[in-house]
């Protein structure tokens, strides 16, 4: 099940664990990324808490935690090569895996059609 937020993140749900990344639209808007900072594995984050930072040549942008939960894995490959996010934002360029505090929370998020309608 693929879900989206208004903050341009995607969540791929497997049981109560969401793989989280930024959308293709967000990656295009940010431009070539040169640095990424990821949360610590084990960090417990609230919905809307600062989870990651991505930086282009020009600017730094925060990536927010889409739902409350615990970070259970991070994508070390994007630390070594942030351009992977631009090349594959909704695939190999994922950011982290989040064990949701409440697995039902994801149901309220947008599906792909609703997200694509939002970004036009």
Partner 1 sequence: MTLTEDLRQTPLTAFNIAHGGRMVSFAGYEMPVQFPDGVLKEHLHCRAAAGLFDVSHMGQVILRPKAGRVEDAALALERLVPVDILGLKPGRQRYGLFTAQDGGILDDLMIANRGDHLFLVVNASCKVEDIAHLRAHLSDDCEIEELTDRALIALQGPDAEAVLSVLAPEVVDMRFMDVADVTLLGVSCIVARAGYTGEDGYEISVDASHAVALAEALLADMRVLPVGLGARDSLRLESGLCLYGHDIDAATTPAQGALEWAIQKVRRTGGARAGGFPGADIILPELETGAARRRVGLRPDGRAPIREGAVLFADESGGEPVGRVTSGGFGPSVNAPVAMGFVATDHSGTDTPLFAEVRGKRLAVFVSPLPFITQRYKRS
Please report, to the nearest 10 degrees, the dihedral formed by the alpha carbons of residues 79, 15, 12, 102 taken in order.
-90
State the minimum distance, in angstroms, from the CB of residue 90 to partner 1: 19
Q: Does 48 bind partner 1 (CB under 8 A)?
A: no
3-state secondary structure of 106: helix
Task: Name residues contacting partner 1, limited to 74-93 (CB under 8 A).
Answer: none
Q: Which stretch binds partner 1 (CB under 8 A): 52-60, 65-73, 87-95, 98-106?
A: 52-60
State the minimum distance, in angstroms, from the CB of residue 82 to partner 1: 9
Tokens representing 13 are 């749900």
Determine the Cα–Cα distance for residues 34 and 100; give it in Å rounded to an integer.
Answer: 29
Q: Which is nearer to partner 1, 17 or 82 (CB)?
A: 82
Size of the residue set binding partner 1 (CB under 8 A): 13
Site residues for partner 1 per CB under 8 A: 31-32, 34-35, 37, 50, 53, 55-60
């Amino acid at each position: 099940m693929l879900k989206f937020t208004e903050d341009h993140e995607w969540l791929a749900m497997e049981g109560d664990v969401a793989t989280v990344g930024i959308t293709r639209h967000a990656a295009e808007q940010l431009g070539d990324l040169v640095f990424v900072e990821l949360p610590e594995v084990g960090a417990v984050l609230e919905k809307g808490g600062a989870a990651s930072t991505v930086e282009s040549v020009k600017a730094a942008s925060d990536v927010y935690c889409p739902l409350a939960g615990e970070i259970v894995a991070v994508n070390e490959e994007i630390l070594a090569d942030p351009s992977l996010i631009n090349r594959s934002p909704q695939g190999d360029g994922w950011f982290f895996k989040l064990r949701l505090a409440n697995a039902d929370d994801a149901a309220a998020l947008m599906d792909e059609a609703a997200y694509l309608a939002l970004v036009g």
